Structure 1
Amino acid sequence: KQEFGAGQIKEEVFATSFEEASWKGSEKIKRNRDAP
């Protein structure tokens, strides 16, 4: 149970950081596109 819980948390943290990274990436692309 503990091992599974730790693995689950690790997966969630990875998914969150991946989402954040891709969001930051798309924000950067948007900013570059809007820049003159």
Structure 2
Amino acid sequence: MARKLKIMENEKYKLTWSMARKQKITESEKHKL
């Protein structure tokens, strides 16, 4: 059970990280325009 929770936390972290990364990319794209 604890292991599953850890996996879920890891997935959530990855998702948040990728979304933040996308946000960063769009921000830099705006600056290029």
| TM-score class normalised by the smaller sequence | over 0.9
Unaligned runs of 5+ in 2: none
> Structure 1 residue 5: deviation in Å?
0.5
TM-score norm. by structure 1 comes to 0.88
CA RMSD of aligned residues (A): 0.3
- Paired position in structure 2 for 1:21: 20
Q: Considering only CA atoms, is the larger Rg found in Structure 1 or Structure 2?
A: 1
Number of residues of Structure 1 aligned to a counterpart in Structure 2: 33
